[in-house]
Amino acid sequence: MTHNQDAAKISEKIEGLTIPITLARTAETHGDEPAYSDKADGRSEWRTLTWREVREQVLDVAAALIELGLQPGQTGAIMASSRIEHVLSDLAILHAGGIPMSIYPTLAPTQVAQVAETAKPAVLFVEGSEQLARWSEGLKVSDPKVVFFKESDGSPTFAELQTRGAELRQDPAKQDELQARIDAIKPTDSLTVLFTSGTTGPPKGVQLTHENIMFEIESSLDHAGLRDTTGISLSYLPMAHIAERVLGMYVPQTVSGHVHFVSDPTLLVGALGEVRPNRFFGVPRVWEKIRTGLSAMLAADPDEEKKAAVQAAMDIGIEYVESKQTGHTTSPELEAKYQAVHEAVLGPIKSLLGLDRVEWAVSASAPMPLEVARFFAGLGFKIYDVYGMTETTAAVCSGGPSDFKMGTVGRAMDGVEIKLGEDGEILTRSKLNTPGYMGNAEATAALIDEDGWLHTGDIGELDDEGYLKIVDRKKEMIILSSGKNIAPSNIENYLKESPIIGHAMVVGDDRNYVAALLTLDIEILNALAPKLGLEDTNPSALATNPVVAGMVKQAVEAANEKVSRPEQVKAYEILPVEWTAESEELTPTLKLKRRVITKAYAEQIDRLYQ
């Protein structure tokens, strides 16, 4: 499947463009419009910078970084939550001629040292002492100038850098030096280096150029339906995540928009109600959490007539959204029925969630479970699933207004080629492919073959119309002792359809049947506690509660009905703990760290096979 005929057109549109150029244009044409807002450092109200203020402060800090000794081509690291200073620091490093890189704040000190050894950052921005502590090993292998966002140990603070830079820019010679650094930046230069979260070995530094990012933006604006939506959004994932970087930083800096930073993902639901975004990006786990919360609330309503009315309205919503899929048509009668139930029932529910103004909803980072997509279709949401990875500058496949088919990640974006290898591995070739891993030629050679095809490590299926469906990670496929290949994520998604199951990890490699480790959704069970008669809602108590055990048993049986006999879960254990983004079991984007879990729960897994 190829859209190669569009690659030349896109290249022509983005010729010569860099982020400093597009930011300058945005500041000129949208200077008085809001750019970034946050509530960092415990603020009760949003603080906001306009696009003109963003660029001026970036130039101030960039001038100070030049005085601090940052040289063109050197890297600058940032370890902090999502906040305004994070973006300003990133852009300042870039405008001073450096290469900014956001580092996951969950990396262990040994992993940070590996990053420091590879990238040798000349400057390091940290939020505070907690982040600096993670650099305890890294500072031994590199000697960056440290800048604090908050408290300081004698190192300069971001505010001090900004003040000093504003003074420096009054000197025409200093201003000329800064402008010369900006003018020297080429589209083929590195725009950033993003280090993987280190769940499958030492973190690898993915290099991405200005051309990579500009191609991604231009290719996706029309295909994904971004160009025609208002850019009011929430940013809550780490800035080391490529999707958050593209949607929260690069797209707004190119075409404007207003981004609200949520420093703690647990505050997302409250922020949704305040901001009421027009665009909303959620990893599957976020959509799942919203669904389970709403489902629990609806289930707790004692008014059976009201519940029946909601379900009837959602049935019409599903029918309506399904009719919006490519190749389908929406009859005038269905349109009228949907508008009526939306006004009476579905619209108020969306308002309750803070999603009533959403024009563009998307899921990425992992396959969206079909049942979750269908649930939100019941509310009238078309959730566009997209597929890509850091190494492909985010999306290479995307759903959108003209490429919407539930259960798939859409079709290849403009200028992108997609094909499947003999074993079903997804291969892609385009100007979105990374130039390679920083300082790791061996890993780069394994990633991109001689013909320019990038090997994603994911197994997929392509239908006759070119729609791509993700099966699972190639390395995560389970092979039973019988030789049967099992895709674990498919079974896990069925298990998580129960609102009380928080996470599920299926095991069975080299074993004779499939088993599962399960954690409970304590938040949902707390909400259901009065109705279920649960007195003790501690995770350890709930894991052994007979009522909960019965509900989990029903959930496993329901999941088993949807899969083939070899895929059915024959044994499982309910764990007396929660897996969270702060724990070692999940990545920052809430995906399972399978190796970590397998090692940490080896005893429990062995027990499932006794």
- Per residue in 258-311, pLDDT (tens digit) is 999 999 888 898 999 999 999 999 988 889 889 888 888 887 788 889 989 999
CATH, range 477-607:
3.30.300.30
Arithmetic mean of pLDDT, 182-205: 88
**What local confidence, expressed as pLDDT, does residue 52 receive?**
98
pTM: 0.86
**What local confidence, expressed as pLDDT, does residue 202 receive?**
79
Q: Given a cut of 60, is residue 450 above it in pLDDT? A: yes
> Quick check: 371 and 401 in contact, CB under 8 A?
no
Selection from 577, 604, 588, 590 nearest residue 522 by Cα: 577
Distance, CA of 250 to CA of 215 (rounded, Å) = 11
Maximum Cα–Cα distance across the chain: 76
Output phi, psi for 383, to 5 deg. -95, 115
Burial of 472 (0-12, 13-18, 19+ CB in 10 A): buried
Arithmetic mean of pLDDT, 508-520: 92
Q: Given a cut of 80, is residue 50 above it in pLDDT? A: yes
**What local confidence, expressed as pLDDT, does residue 224 receive?**
80
Give helix then strand counts, H and E, for the chain.
25, 25
User: Per the structure block, which two tokens stand in for 305?
Assistant: 């007539």
Q: Given a cut of 50, is residue 557 above it in pLDDT? A: yes
Selection from 316, 299, 317 nearest residue 307 by Cα: 299
Distance, CA of 248 to CA of 233 (rounded, Å) = 8
Split at pLDDT 50, 70, 90, the class of 198 is low
Amino acid at 179: Q
> Which positions ≥6 away from 392 have C-beta within 8 Å?
428, 430, 432, 433, 434, 454, 456
The residues spanned by each domain of the chain are 19-185, 280-474, 477-607
> Quick check: 427 and 421 in contact, CB under 8 A?
yes
Burial of 474 (0-12, 13-18, 19+ CB in 10 A): middle
Distance, CA of 82 to CA of 37 (rounded, Å) = 10
Selection from 428, 448, 579, 560 nearest residue 497 by Cα: 560
Q: Given a cut of 70, is residue 200 above it in pLDDT? A: no
> Which positions ≥6 away from 445 have C-beta within 8 Å?
none
> Quick check: 114 and 202 in contact, CB under 8 A?
yes
Amino acid at 86: H
Q: Given a cut of 80, is residue 421 above it in pLDDT? A: yes
The angle, 0 to 180 degrees and rounded to 10, between the axes of the packed helices 172-183 and 51-68 is 100
Q: Which residue would you say has higher pLDDT here, 537 or 79?
A: 79
Q: Given a cut of 70, is residue 220 above it in pLDDT? A: yes
**What local confidence, expressed as pLDDT, does residue 162 receive?**
97
**Taking the chain, what is the end-to-end CA distance rounded to the nearest angstrom?**
47
Q: Which residue would you say has higher pLDDT here, 594 or 70?
A: 70
**What local confidence, expressed as pLDDT, does residue 9 receive?**
92
**What local confidence, expressed as pLDDT, does residue 529 receive?**
86
Arithmetic mean of pLDDT, 112-140: 95
Q: Given a cut of 90, is residue 97 above it in pLDDT? A: yes
Output phi, psi for 590, to 5 deg. 70, 25
Residue 392 is inside which H or E element, if any?
A: none
Q: Given a cut of 70, is residue 397 above it in pLDDT? A: yes
Q: Which residue would you say has higher pLDDT here, 81 or 481?
A: 81
Burial of 44 (0-12, 13-18, 19+ CB in 10 A): exposed
Q: Given a cut of 80, is residue 396 above it in pLDDT? A: yes
Residue 472 is inside which H or E element, if any?
A: strand 468-473
Kindly report the three-state secondary structure assignment for every residue of 503-522: EEEEECCCCCCEEEEEEECH
For 280-474, which CATH class?
Answer: alpha beta
Burial of 188 (0-12, 13-18, 19+ CB in 10 A): exposed
Arithmetic mean of pLDDT, 122-139: 95
Distance, CA of 203 to CA of 114 (rounded, Å) = 7
Residue 544 is inside which H or E element, if any?
A: helix 539-544
Residue 414 is inside which H or E element, if any?
A: none
Q: How far is CA 261 from CA 265, 389, 480, 558, in A?
A: 10, 22, 44, 39
**What local confidence, expressed as pLDDT, does residue 364 receive?**
85
Instruction: To the nearest 10°, report the CA torsion of 536, 537, 543, 548.
Output: 90
Domain 19-185 identical in fold to domain 477-607: no
**What local confidence, expressed as pLDDT, does residue 2 receive?**
45
Instruction: Specify the pairing of strand 145-148 against strand 190-195.
Output: unpaired
Q: Which residue would you say has higher pLDDT here, 588 or 95?
A: 95
User: Is 19-185 a CATH 3.40.50.880 domain?
Assistant: no
**What local confidence, expressed as pLDDT, does residue 108 receive?**
82
Q: Given a cut of 90, is residue 537 above it in pLDDT? A: no
**What local confidence, expressed as pLDDT, does residue 483 receive?**
74
**What local confidence, expressed as pLDDT, does residue 302 receive?**
84
Q: What is the mean pLDDT of the chain?
A: 92
Q: Given a cut of 70, is residue 199 above it in pLDDT? A: no
Split at pLDDT 50, 70, 90, the class of 322 is very high
**What local confidence, expressed as pLDDT, does residue 247 receive?**
94
User: Per the structure block, which two tokens stand in for 211?
Assistant: 């051309």
Output phi, psi for 398, to 5 deg. -155, 145
**What local confidence, expressed as pLDDT, does residue 150 receive?**
86
**What local confidence, expressed as pLDDT, does residue 338 receive?**
97
Q: Which residues pair with 332 in a beta bridge?
A: none
Arithmetic mean of pLDDT, 581-600: 84
Split at pLDDT 50, 70, 90, the class of 6 is confident
Percent of the chain having pLDDT more than 70? 98
Q: Given a cut of 90, is residue 354 above it in pLDDT? A: yes
Q: Given a cut of 90, is residue 73 above it in pLDDT? A: yes
Distance, CA of 491 to CA of 505 (rounded, Å) = 9
Q: Given a cut of 90, is residue 473 above it in pLDDT? A: no
Instruction: Give residue-wise pLDDT tens across range 248-257.
Output: 999 999 999 9
Distance, CA of 392 to CA of 370 (rounded, Å) = 25
> Quick check: 469 and 406 in contact, CB under 8 A?
no
Selection from 532, 423, 503 nearest residue 471 by Cα: 423
Amino acid at 404: F
Split at pLDDT 50, 70, 90, the class of 580 is confident
Distance, CA of 423 to CA of 508 (rounded, Å) = 21
> Quick check: 68 and 124 in contact, CB under 8 A?
no
